[in-house]
Amino acid sequence: MRYLPLRSAALAAAALLAGCGATAPARVEVQQVKVAVPVPCDEPEPERPTMPIEHLAADVDVDTYVQAAGAELERREGYEIQLRAALANCKRPLRAAEK
């Protein structure tokens, strides 16, 4: 009779272990989720050109001022093209090789 608690414990442990073995193993499914990850843009910022009007004297005549203003418009348009190209390079999607 003194082995009765030991036998009961062994029987209970065996029943518990048998219950664990009867269940099917859990199935693991791997799912691929695409998440947008921010990537820093390493595109160099184009240097701002000096504008012709910035270097004019205060007492310059109207014709010289208008000529400098026209040149500044063209220079600003060129600078804007460079800025837009840099922005487009930063916004383009990454290729598989760059990931």
- Spell out the SS3 assignment of 8-68: HHHHHHHHHHHHHHHCCCCCCCCCCCCCCCCCCCCCCCCCCCCCHHHHCCCCCCHHHHHHH
Residue 13: inside a domain? no
Residue 22: inside a domain? no
Q: Which two tokens stand for residue 25?
A: 């193993």
Residue 17: inside a domain? no
**What is this structure's pTM?**
0.54
Instruction: Give how many domains the chain has, as a whole number.
Output: 1
Mean pLDDT lowest among 6-10, 63-67, 94-98: 94-98
The mean per-residue pLDDT over the stretch 57-84 comes to 95
Q: 4-22: per-residue pLDDT in tens?
A: 677 778 878 777 776 666 5
Q: What is the mean pLDDT of the chain?
A: 84
The mean per-residue pLDDT over the stretch 17-33 comes to 75
For residue 3, name the pLDDT band (cuts at 50, 70, 90).
low
Residue 94: inside a domain? yes
